Structures are given as C-alpha cells and as structure tokens.
A and B are shown apart, each in its own frame.
Chain A
Amino acid sequence: MNPDKQTFTLDGKTIPFCNGQTIIQAAMDAGEYIPHLCFNPEFKPHGSCKLCTVKADGRTTASCTQFAQDGMVVESNTKEINDERRVLLQMLFVEGNHFCPSCEKSGNCQLQATAYELNMMSPHFDQFFPDRPLDASHPEYFLDLNRCILCSLCVRASRDVDGKNVFALSGRGIKSHVIVNAQSGQLGDTDFAGDDKAAQVCPVGVILKKRVGFSVPIGKRSFDEQPISATPHPVVKEA
C-alpha cells in the first residue's frame, strides 16, 4: 500500500487522504461538504451532533470520528441520510429557543445555514420552549443560552487553546447545559476575555460580542453570499 496514494470515494468522487485523517477532514481538504455542527477542524472531534453521519462501506458512522480507509466507499449526500440529518436539525431547533427573525446571528449562523442547506421547512416537532437564562454580566460579551446546541466547541476552545476552562457541560440528557467557571455562575465573574479562542468558535448565537447586533447588512452576511455547502470551513464575519 502506498500511503501517499490512499483514497476513498465520497458519493462516487475520489478523495485522497493521509494516515490519521477522518472522513470529514479529508473531504474538507478536497473541498467537499459534509453537513456538521460540532466539528471544527481546529479542534479534536467531539462526535455529538451526528449531523456528519455518513455510510462508510454500508455502516452508519460519524464522519468526524471515523478514520478514512483506503478503498472505503462513503455515502453522504443521499436522500436517506439527509432525511435523518433533517430530523436531527429539527430536534435541535425545538430543544432550544431559536427565533431566527430577531436573532443577530441570523445569516451568520451555522445551524440556520445547515437547515437551509438541508431544506428544513419547519421544526415539525412540538417546541420545548425551555426556560434558559441570558447572561449579560460580562462587559463585552454575553451568553444567550436559548440558542445553545451543546456542540461543546466553547468548552474545547477554552480548555485546549485558551487554557482557562471557562466553559463546561453540566447535567445529563435533556437537562444538559453549558455552565461557566464562577461561583456566581456569571460570565462576568470568570476570566473570559474577548481575544479568547472560545469567543470566536460558537457556531450559533450563544457567545456574542455586545453592541454589534445587526451592524452587518442583509446581503453581506456569511451565508447571504454563498450557502454553507460552498464554505467548507465557515468563516463567520465579525462586524
């Protein structure tokens, strides 16, 4: 086996990869889009959102945790898999309070963009309408936990890059939620700072810089210009 010429097929396209790469990493390097939310190529995979589920040699698996193998046949953009991804998205929407019409992340939100990509036309399920707090105690940033999808990217960024452990997941099952590392439970009482990596990674509208709001006009937001599938590594615009 020549390690420099290892390939697998993704929906019939030949994708080269290196030893140790996962399916989604190799696909991204090749410019191919596999829907995902909790995966960010800068961080160790978490495998929790399951949006990146594919069929590899007929077996269902998360493409962010499954290593690519030479000759593997991977199916991703099929009706069956996209139908299941759409259900996952619908569950994420109803478990939180995602009010896109008044959300300042609208147009820059990976959850919203992925829902558009997968033609999610309605939440389908009954809304949970959970009672979640908004933490505006920090002078420069605020947390709107209504929009949290528990991707844990903030947890990983704060721990692995910032070395601060500002964020953590607490609770179990449907009661899982993000907490911050302060006795008061308030972001303003942590050592969180605006230049932390954790301030930049939220794929939805939970960790937001204050007083930015709707300063980017409609038409100039990340996913106004191109769908998320054309942006394998989403770069969300800062105002």
Chain B
Amino acid sequence: MSTTLETATNPENLRRVAIDPVSRVEGHGKVTILLDDKNKVHQVRLHIVEFRGFEKFIQGRPYWEVPVMVQRLCGICPVSHHLAASKALDAIVGAKHLTPTAEKIRRLMHYGQIFQSHALHFFHLCSPDLLFGFDSDVSRRNIVGVAEKYPETAKRGVLMRKFGQEVIRHTAGKRVHGTGAVPGGVNKSLTIAERDELLKGIYQMVAWSRDAVHMIKELHHQNPELYNSFGAFRANFMSMVGYDGGLDLYHGTLRGRDENGNIMFDGVDYRNYTDLIGEEVKNWSYMKFPYLKSLGKEKGWYRVGPLSRVQNCDFIPTPLAEIERREFVAYSGVMPMHAPLGYHWARMIEMLHAAEMIKDLLHDDAITGSELMTSGVRGIEGVGVIEAPRGTLIHHYRVDENDLVTMCNLIVSTTHNNQAMNEAVRRVAQQYLNGHEITEGLLNHIEVAVRAFDPCLSCATHALGKMPLEVEVLNEAGEQLSSLSRSAEGVVCSLN
C-alpha cells in the first residue's frame, strides 16, 4: 500500500495539469497532476466535488419519506439507497424480521438493481475501452462503435439492462425512483402475470451473464500483462457477507481482509459501524476518506465493491457464479487480485449471481404473497447496510418522538473507495504519463482506472465516449503554457 504521490515535496516548482471536470452524476470531480520539467509525475489527486446535502435536508422530515427521498442521490443505483434507508428505518417501526414476502420482494428488487447496473457499467460504459483499447480511435470508443463492430454484444447489453429495469419496475412500481420498499416491509408483491413475464426472460439472462463472464475472463487471459498490472496497488478489502460466510448483497455482517487476504475482522454487526470505521477530512477534497480505526488513517484505507466481495466471501450460493468465483480465485493465485481491471471480471461474476438469484426468487411462491408489512416496538435509531452495485452502502438515522429525522449519516461506496481510486489514478499516472506528452488516449487511461471502480462516477465521465475534458499545463506562476480539449462530440483539439 502506498500514498507516496499524494503530496509533492516541492509543489511550487512543478507544472500543474488538471483534468477538470471529471464530471459525474452526483457532482464534479477532477484529477490534478504535478509534473516537473521532464514530465516526471510528483503528485496526483482525484478530487471529488460531492454535495452531500441530503444528510442535512433530510433532517426535520418524517422518517417514512426518507427511502423515497434519499434515493434521489442517484439515478443509476436509486434502489440501493431506497433499500438501505428502508432497512435502517425497519428499526424505527420495530420490524425486526420482515415477512417472507417483503424480504424476498426487496431482495428481488435489489438483484434486479445489481443486474441492470452491472450490465450498464460493463456493456455501455467499459466495453468500448476493453474491446477497442484504451487509446483507440476516440470516435469509435463508445457504445455506438461497439454496436457497429460487435452488434450481438451491444444488443445483449441493452436487453440485459432492460430486464433488470423490468424487475425493478415490477417490485418498486417504476424503473427509476420507485416506492416499493417502506419501513417495515414493501407496498406490493408480484402478481402472477408480472412473475410470469419475468420468468419468460430470466433463463436467457442467466445464459448471457455467463457468456459475459467468459468474455471478460478471455480478455484477462489474452493480455495478462495489461490486466494484472494496469493501475494495480495493494489494499485491504471490506464487504458485507452472509451469516454463513457466503456472498450476500442484501444482508449480513461486515468482514475485512488485509492485502494478503488474511481476515482482519469478521461477523461485525453493521449497526456498530462507527466502532469500525472513521472518516478523515483532507483539505484538497470535498469527499471524506474512510479508514479502519484499528489500523489508523495511514494504513486503514480499504477497497469495496465487486473485487472485494467476490474475494471476501467463502462461497457464492448459486452454482454457476460459484464455479466462476473459484476460477477467479484460482487465477489470482495465493494472493488476492488487486488489479483494478479485475473489478470487471468480479462484476460479471456478480451479475451472473444476480441473474441466478432472480431466477430462484421467481420460483418462490412468497413473492406473490399478501403479507407485506410488519412492525413492533418503536425505535429511535436505525442503521441499514446493503452491498450496492459498487460497494458497501451505509445509512444511519435517528428519529425523534414526533417521527421527524434528527440525524442522518450516509457513507456511500464511492466514499469508501476514495483513497483506492486515488491510488489507482496515481499508479496509472506513474505507469503511462511519466515523461510523456499528454494525449487524449493517455487521459483516457486515467478515466479507465476510475471507471473500473465506480459507475456512478464513470458513467458521467465516460458519457458514452463524449465526456468533455480540458487539460491545462500551467507554469509555477499559474500561467497557461498549453492546453488540450475534448468536446462533447469527442473532437480533440489544442486550445493554443
């Protein structure tokens, strides 16, 4: 683990290159790089300018509004916020155990979300990089280019995402920003017609998901040097696992491993997350840097998301995904895989798992049941944790005697991965930018590293290959020496 490029020793004598904006759904981000006269990299920072206003303006609102309100944090993974908030607020209404129908409808909604988000990320946003090359012709490096050269792949991507969205629609009422989960349960189950409609498509989805795992696996095998080393760094892992140690994206306990794969903590009740995790503030970023308190700020940072989850669990409780997990672990060898591009492989294994889980749930009679709600002794505080598509998501609320929220704390997966994404960007800058003239293709290498972690960020930055970017080279006086821009249409030109 290393943070050596976080702060340059003598920044006043270095040129500053800024990639600004690295736009994203929840705000803006930028990458700044400090170079010396020989273009040697001395400092690299990924700054996420994130407006966390939700934690404030949710205060004073009735708690039952929260699951619907906070999901507006995101347009890609609203279901994750919707469910994490609902889980937290189950404690407020005293719902210790949901009805079987409510639990399974929520899980179905969640796996639909995982399925559509992973499909979107892999096929729409990342496959252009992986299929054409990181510095390939920018005019083709997008989903339209994929559709032209690999029409079947593009078609599957679109249809898989659509299927996941349909699962969400049937469980939450809408494809985006539905209302299905409520404190204490859900507001609807599936009708027989809705279930049968989904059953018609699920077997194809399982098959296509398996093909997608094979596709990314093949890419790793074809170019192991690139895939194993691109932006690679060693880090701790953290994720939620089921009570039996298996992969469970909806409920369980927290487990952490060190960079060698040894378990550091296990079975941690997520309601005690504040004992486990601290958050550091750095003066150059609006996003906090979470760390494991037991290891301290310097060594306690960690990585979340598919790469962590697939290596952190003991097994995956669906057969096809478990076969793929074992192959993934065997490929990594004795040590865990730390390469950021391994996220894509792990993500596809999770997508296959989500498809299998959807299939199993569609065959469960409970999803058409009528017992939707439960309640018990009123509580005043609740914590809900869920494994969102891109990592561990924590929601924490306190509610007063008049039913109004008095405290809200959210730690989203992007925040957990803050230091890890910075490290990946630094490694890529060291590997590819050191001593080189800046080109659009080199810029995209940095984006590829960010994109591997977080579709919330990468979806906006990638913008289907049309992310507007401006890079400026400034002297120590802040005067612009040269600059390069890429327009929303993908046209790259010098501004001087």
Q: Scoring B residues 39 to 79 as 1 if CB is less than 8 Å from chain A, else 0, what string do you get?
A: 00000000000000000000011101101110010000000
Separation of A214 and B177 alpha carbons in the complex (Å): 12
Separation of A104 and B65 alpha carbons in the complex (Å): 7
Asked if residues A217 and B180 are in contact (CB atoms below 8 Å), the reply is: yes
Given A104-B65, A212-B64, A214-B187, do A219 and B72 touch, yes or no (CB 8 Å)? no
State how many angstroms separate the Cβ of B344 from the closest Cβ of chain A. 33
Given A136-B403, A217-B179, A218-B174, do A211 and B64 touch, yes or no (CB 8 Å)? yes
Q: Does A102 contact B (CB under 8 A)?
A: yes
Q: Tally chain B residues at the interface, Cβ within 8 Å.
A: 25
* Interface residue from A213, A215, A219 paired with B65 (Cβ < 8 Å): A213
Instruction: Give chain A interface residues in 183-224, CB to chain B under 8 Å.
Output: 210-220
Q: Does A142 contact B (CB under 8 A)?
A: yes
Q: Does B188 contact A (CB under 8 A)?
A: yes
Q: Does A134 contact B (CB under 8 A)?
A: yes
Separation of A136 and B188 alpha carbons in the complex (Å): 27
A212 neighbours in B (Cβ, 8 Å): 64
Given A137-B402, A142-B403, do A102 and B187 touch, yes or no (CB 8 Å)? no
A136 neighbours in B (Cβ, 8 Å): 62, 402-404
Q: Does A173 contact B (CB under 8 A)?
A: no
* Interface residue from A101, A102, A134, A218 paired with B173 (Cβ < 8 Å): A218
State how many angstroms separate the Cβ of B89 from the closest Cβ of chain A. 10
Query: Which of A137, A214, A216, A220 is the most central at the interface, judged by chain B CB atoms within 10 Å of its CB?
Result: A214
B183 neighbours in A (Cβ, 8 Å): 213
Separation of A44 and B262 alpha carbons in the complex (Å): 75
Q: Does B182 contact A (CB under 8 A)?
A: yes
A210 neighbours in B (Cβ, 8 Å): 62, 403
B174 neighbours in A (Cβ, 8 Å): 218
Residue of A nearest to B181 (CB): A214
Asked if residues B64 and A134 are in contact (CB atoms below 8 Å), the reply is: no
Q: Count A-B pairs with CB separation below 8 Å.
A: 58
State how many angstroms separate the Cβ of A130 from the closest Cβ of chain B. 15
State how many angstroms separate the Cβ of A70 from the closest Cβ of chain B. 49
Separation of A146 and B373 alpha carbons in the complex (Å): 29
Residue of B nearest to A208 (CB): B62
* Interface residue from B68, B93, B173 paired with A219 (Cβ < 8 Å): B173
State how many angstroms separate the Cβ of A189 from the closest Cβ of chain B. 13
State how many angstroms separate the Cβ of A184 from the closest Cβ of chain B. 13
Query: Which of A134, A137, A142, A215 is the most central at the interface, judged by chain B CB atoms within 10 Å of its CB?
Result: A215
Separation of A216 and B188 alpha carbons in the complex (Å): 8
Residue of B nearest to A186 (CB): B402
Given contacts A210-B403, A217-B188, 6 further A-B contacts (CB under 8 A): A103-B65, A136-B62, A136-B402, A211-B93, A213-B182, A214-B67
Q: List 15 A-B contacts (CB under 8 A).
A: A102-B65, A104-B64, A134-B60, A134-B61, A134-B62, A134-B404, A136-B62, A142-B402, A210-B62, A211-B64, A211-B93, A212-B64, A213-B65, A214-B68, A217-B179
| 5 closest Cβ pairs, A-B complex | A218-B173, A213-B64, A102-B69, A136-B402, A217-B188
